[in-house]
Structure 1
Amino acid sequence: MAAVSKLLTAKRCSLTAAAFVAFYLAKRRLEGHSPARNRKEGAVVKTGRDVPKDRAAVDKVFFGRLLRLLKILVPRPLCKEVGYLLFIAAMLVARTYCDVWMIHNGTMIESAIIGRSTVDFRRYLLNFATAMPAISLVNNFLKLGLNELKLCFRVRLTHHLYDEYLKGYTYYKIGNLDNRIANPDQLLTQDVEKFSSCVVELYSNVSKPILDIVIYVMKLTSAIGFQGPVCMLAYLVASGLLLTRMRRPASHMTVTEQTYEGEYRFVNSRLITNSEEIAFYNGNVREKEIIQTAFQKLVSHLQTFMYFRFSMGFVDSIIAKYIAMVVGYLVVSRPFLDLSNPRHRHSTHAQLLEEYYQSGRMLISLAQALGRVVLAGREMTRLSGFTARITEIQKVLKELNRGRYERTMVSQQARETGEADRISLVPGSGTIVHCDHMIRFENIPLATPNGDILIRDLSFQVASGTNVLVCGPNGSGKSSLFRVLGELWPLFGGRLTKPERGKLFYVPQRPYMTLGTLRDQVIYPDTAEHQRSKGISDQVLREYLAAVQLEHILQREGSWDTTQDWMDILSGGEKQRMAMARLFYHKPQFAILDECTSAVSVDVEDYIYTHCRKEGITLFTVSHRKSLWKHHEYYLHIDGRGSYEFKAITEDTQQFGS
């Protein structure tokens, strides 16, 4: 027996040592694959954005973030979320009492079997069969309440984030001006869903064990004294502190995993979006390398996370489950093995057996509840990762809506010339004045969001009725001019006088066709209700289509309410003409036409420009067609070297159209 005992002890020591070695190796592997180390070695190809620097750990910062998010999820004391929380709490109480009843009834069934009492066996078995529907109903009501609460939380948080995301041009700025959030689509969809699930699961997995602990402690105190529950609670505190300390890396690993998942999805979506251009370049091999690099980075991290979870799962099982059960057996056996205990001095064997079974099962249930509380720390560390990511996008969206953005990009030109501050440009330092029928640039530095100056001092004025042709080489700043004019890019100084956003319309070379009906393509972004409120009939819409020679589409589809995939149904020229029909519908004061008739015949183009003048729409046109110069009074030539020229169009200046 001594030899067997030594052998078992040696095996336990070996297993424990193996667990801590696995934990150590996983931690070293995590450090080896950390973003900082990869940056140092230059071994990772990035998409232009770093892994989030904000830490994720179960600390006061996490609880502060979680409290702020909970104020969004539960906005008022009287709301349906509070109702579901109370409903779940009631179901948890009912479930705990069902568990206690099941322990008592199960003990009585076993006691009847051992005592060979057919009457008691039938009675308690009938009680169990009678209670099964109620117990099943409680369990399923609990699941229903949890699922409803998850959905409510997701709806609240999604609406809150999209209110910020789709406020003004924030959805544009988060990807084009700011580079702190790599994949906002993942954060707004997948991470919000996971965060909502984690919050609800944590509420259930913490409140239920705590409730179990309170009830079982009360029951056990009357059965075996208060020393047993006190010992178990002391073990809870000690093991909880130890496991929480060991699980710290899990929060950061969760954040990194979601970041790598987003990067992997990003490179795949780029392939789909740009498939035609990649096919023309025969770039499948190169794209495969890019995708496999992103995928391998994700796989490497998942393997690291897997080893870490394996080691922590081993330690969790030992500390939170098996040792807890050992402590439970020691506690429950003490009153029965103590011969001086007056409670059991005159008890019969059947009474001892019945009380032991009942106390033992309650104590085992208490130990399991304590173990679930300890293991809830693992869920909390996972929740801290999602909390950090949701808080980050919430912070970025609020700052963007206040006009602040951050970029880490520094231009090569600035590094070479040593002009990093470049006349101390401050985003948003310019002044925008809204005024109808007037566009005036006064001493405005035309610069990109990261501070590259295209024109140091841009000044010109255009009144309604004066069409302007914008020309110059590619990359000279034509699109930058329109982004500033459309308030997509910040103003770095000077004074810009322009109409409000709704009175300035942009028509790009590749127009956007929305999801919806044929009517929606003409009136976008208006809805059918907006069309009716403006008093514009379907016959007028038909005239707009006829003006751009697209009436055949209405005849082909048969109705304004036909829904198609218009991006695929319409050709390039039809999309451009549909965008011009959209322009006629909105009748803005000014319109920016950015090569928007490149796929349209010259005669149709001539009719469109004539109709714009008839409708009183003043045009800023970017085009290389000489035939368009006759429709404009001024030209703005940007040479791409920091200079520009704004002059009236005469026969002598038509040379720029060649």
Structure 2
Amino acid sequence: MHFYNFQNLFLFFRNGGRSTKMADKAAKKDRAAVDYVFFLRISKIIRIMVPRWFCKETGYLVLIAAMLVARTYCDVWMIQNGTMIESAIIGRSNTDFKNYLFNFCKVMPLIALVNNFLKLGLNELKLRFRVRLTKHLYDEYLKGYTYYKMGNLDNRIANADQLLTQDVERFCNSVVDLYSNLSKPLLDIGLYIFKLTSAIGAQGPASMMTYLLVSGLFLTRLRRPIGKMTVTEQRYEGEYRYVNSRLITNSEEIAFYNGNMREKQTIHSTFKKLVDHLHKFIFFRFSMGFVDSLIAKYIATVVGYLVVSRPFLNLADPRHMNSSQPELLEDYYQSGRMLLRMSQALGRIVLAGREMTRLSGFTMRITELMKVLKELNSGKYERTMVSHQDKESEAVERVPLVPGSGQIINVDHVIKFEHTPLSTPNGDILIKDLTFEVRSGTNVLVCGPNGCGKSSLFRVLGELWPLFGGRLTKPERGKLFYVPQRPYMTLGTLRDQVIYPDTYEEQKRKGISDQVLKEYLDNVQLGHILDREGTWDTVQDWMDVLSGGEKQRMAMARLFYHKPQFAILDECTSAVSVDVEDFIYSHCRTVGISLFTVSHRKSLWKHHEYYLHMDGRGNYDFKPITEETIEFGS
């Protein structure tokens, strides 16, 4: 056997997973390290992925373990049978050669079956783990308004989309790979040490293991900067993808500004940062490659020759004193191959240690996501508060506030603010003391300059933002409906656009027929869309198919379907003609929907009884609309 093959075992060290440190440097407890905290974290996540002793995941774990044991015995048999084939060739024994070759052909299907069953188990377990963890996280993420709060009220998680998709997949793959990369090498090492000890003595395996351990630890320490450099590379890659996605998302606005050269400069600048870092990374890997080649290839080859040759060169060794030349060759080949396999197994264990360090980073990120989701669902959130205010602005006042300290009372047919501070989640006061009452049947027009608090008022009403004090009396969430200026069109059928967020089954439970849905479309002059598509079950990309005005009218048809007690209309008819708008507002009054309207159109004042005017300096007026009222807007 040519012992230059000992270089292969160190490829495990060089080409394996990189240790990434995804840690909060400000808090030592959040470091991505393999320690007691790591094992607590991962055990908690594993209980989510393997919820019971008897489940599909447990079955795949058992299948993988069984296939790993079978594969180890297959490897040993392959070594022994391969050695016998080579011995028969060297000894020119045609009969032995045919027998052992025939044995190999008989076992080939079984070995192939074991290998592919192992791959099947690993891939299925990765998928099952991902399904379990993804479902658990999305159950928490989409509970109530948690998805909104994470992006708008809490700033601990900056990239929830990446965590829920890419990081979950990598975590599950890493856990399963670690299970495989630890189980089989440990079994291999135990078996090969037993076999080698009887063949060449205990000193040979012990010497090789010592060299591999010391070399592996030394090389792992040298590779430490790879973790930090990988994190930096991923950050620069993310920035580069982000500036490209911005160009696609805002292409129309950029085209109107003729900003292609400025965007080109931004993209090239971001790409240059990535390229400069990659140059440094390539040079570092070149340096590491030189050390790898020296230690992992050539010195390992020398050590391999020394270890295996020692009992054969020692003429006084009792194991080979009476052996013939073919027997010596057979023992030499078999011992060398087993030693190589043992070395590879030890290399995989060192690789598993590095994989565990990488896994600790994913574990920390997933655990942090789970912690934030749990706290948001219990009404707790954290946000970096602004430390000072703009001296030139009188609109914002900073006072100590406690999120959630206000009282919300659910009562039908009334909205009443009592001494309620209107504040942003950041703690900036827009209105110190807001007090007014609106009952069903009364429409209110909300007006004022940008940033005065109109949207903030509606977010508090919808319970998207916490109440910082006072008392808010209002109907429960399902009896309030918000219609934005740019309506959301869901993925699905034409029917889904009208009944969203209901499903077809919920529509049937409510007893609303398709004919009634057609009336809703006719009320907003969209009946032609159903005539054009021919069926309610037509699936289109409705964000592109419908014009801006059609989307706004579709949102109003959606409002008529849900029939809330109160509706918040936020510039939702800005792209609709005045006559259609007038009919829609009249129909809302007919069906008993009370309105809070944000609009700058004077034509809408006649549909409202009160106006709420905010001046942007913390003051407001809530008064009835009379003939003497000065109308704001155009």
Report the Cα offset of residue 207 of structure 1.
Answer: 1.9
Which residue number corresponds to residue 354 of structure 2?
Answer: 378
Which residue number corresponds to residue 459 of structure 2?
Answer: 483
Which residue number corresponds to residue 44 of structure 1?
Answer: none
Distance 2:380 2:445 in 1: 33
Which residue number corresponds to residue 504 of structure 1?
Answer: 480
Residues 275, 179 of structure 1: CA spacing in aligned structure 2 closer, same or farther, 3 A cutoff?
farther
Residues 421, 637 of structure 1: CA spacing in aligned structure 2 closer, same or farther, 3 A cutoff?
closer
- Equivalent AA in structure 1 for residue 439 of structure 2: A
- 1:364 corresponds, among 335, 340, 351, to 340
Name the stretch that deviates more: 383-392 or 527-536.
Answer: 383-392
Which residue number corresponds to residue 543 of structure 1?
Answer: 519
Report the Cα offset of residue 299 of structure 1.
Answer: 3.7
- 2:126 corresponds, among 138, 150, 164, to 150
1:214 aligns to 2:163 (yes or no): no
Which residue number corresponds to residue 271 of structure 2?
Answer: 295
- 2:144 corresponds, among 134, 150, 168, to 168
By relative contact order (CA 8 Å, sep 6+), the higher-ranking structure is: 2
1:435-468 CA distances to partner (integer Å, 9 max, x unpaired)? 2212111222111121221111111111111111
Report the Cα offset of residue 409 of structure 1.
Answer: 5.7
- 1:434 corresponds, among 402, 405, 410, to 410
Which residue number corresponds to residue 161 of structure 2?
Answer: 185
**Structure 1: gaps of 5 or more residues:** 1-26, 37-49
1:120 aligns to 2:96 (yes or no): yes
Q: Secondary structure at the match of 1:496?
A: strand
Distance 1:376 1:101 in 2: 26
Residues 310, 501 of structure 1: CA spacing in aligned structure 2 closer, same or farther, 3 A cutoff?
farther
Contact 2:396 2:618 in 1 (8 A): no
Q: Secondary structure at the match of 1:652?
A: coil
Q: How does 1:467-616 map to 2 (within 5 A)?
A: 467-616=443-592
Which residue number corresponds to residue 4 of structure 2?
Answer: none
- 2:113 corresponds, among 124, 137, 148, to 137
State the superposition RMSD in angstroms: 2.9
1:73 aligns to 2:71 (yes or no): no
Name the stretch that deviates more: 565-574 or 238-247.
Answer: 238-247
- How many residues are treated as equivalent by the alignment? 615
**Structure 2: gaps of 5 or more residues:** 1-18
Distance 1:486 1:262 in 2: 34
Q: How does 1:438-453 map to 2 (within 5 A)?
A: 438-453=414-429
Contact 2:566 2:594 in 1 (8 A): yes
Which residue number corresponds to residue 318 of structure 2?
Answer: 342
Distance 1:68 1:315 in 2: 40
1:281 aligns to 2:237 (yes or no): no
Return the TM-score normalized by structure 2.
0.90
Distance 2:266 2:206 in 1: 58
Which residue number corresponds to residue 239 of structure 2?
Answer: 263
Residues 419, 234 of structure 1: CA spacing in aligned structure 2 closer, same or farther, 3 A cutoff?
farther
Contact 2:394 2:618 in 1 (8 A): no
Which residue number corresponds to residue 309 of structure 2?
Answer: 333
Residues 387, 579 of structure 1: CA spacing in aligned structure 2 closer, same or farther, 3 A cutoff?
same
1:241-290 CA distances to partner (integer Å, 9 max, x unpaired)? 43443344444444444444333333333332222222222222233333
Residues 589, 537 of structure 1: CA spacing in aligned structure 2 closer, same or farther, 3 A cutoff?
same
Report the Cα offset of residue 647 of structure 1.
Answer: 1.0
Residues 232, 382 of structure 1: CA spacing in aligned structure 2 closer, same or farther, 3 A cutoff?
same
Which residue number corresponds to residue 7 of structure 2?
Answer: none
1:338-360 CA distances to partner (integer Å, 9 max, x unpaired)? 33322222222222221121112
- Equivalent AA in structure 1 for residue 365 of structure 2: R
Report the Cα offset of residue 538 of structure 1.
Answer: 0.5
Q: Secondary structure at the match of 2:402?
A: coil
Contact 1:513 1:567 in 2 (8 A): yes
Name the stretch that deviates more: 470-479 or 215-224.
Answer: 215-224
Report the Cα offset of residue 606 of structure 1.
Answer: 1.5
Report the Cα offset of residue 417 of structure 1.
Answer: 9.6
Return the TM-score normalized by structure 1.
0.87
Residues 73, 144 of structure 1: CA spacing in aligned structure 2 closer, same or farther, 3 A cutoff?
same
Q: How does 1:597-636 map to 2 (within 5 A)?
A: 597-636=573-612
Report the Cα offset of residue 214 of structure 1.
Answer: 1.2
Residues 141, 532 of structure 1: CA spacing in aligned structure 2 closer, same or farther, 3 A cutoff?
same
Which residue number corresponds to residue 13 of structure 1?
Answer: none
**Identity percentage of aligned residues:** 77
Q: Secondary structure at the match of 2:408?
A: strand
Report the Cα offset of residue 320 of structure 1.
Answer: 5.2
Distance 1:371 1:105 in 2: 25
Residues 603, 492 of structure 1: CA spacing in aligned structure 2 closer, same or farther, 3 A cutoff?
same
Q: Secondary structure at the match of 1:343?
A: coil
Distance 1:418 1:251 in 2: 48
Which residue number corresponds to residue 82 of structure 2?
Answer: 106
1:87-133 CA distances to partner (integer Å, 9 max, x unpaired)? 11111111111111111011111111111111111111111122112
Report the Cα offset of residue 421 of structure 1.
Answer: 9.6
- Equivalent AA in structure 2 for residue 491 of structure 1: L
Report the Cα offset of residue 390 of structure 1.
Answer: 2.5
Residues 264, 405 of structure 1: CA spacing in aligned structure 2 closer, same or farther, 3 A cutoff?
farther
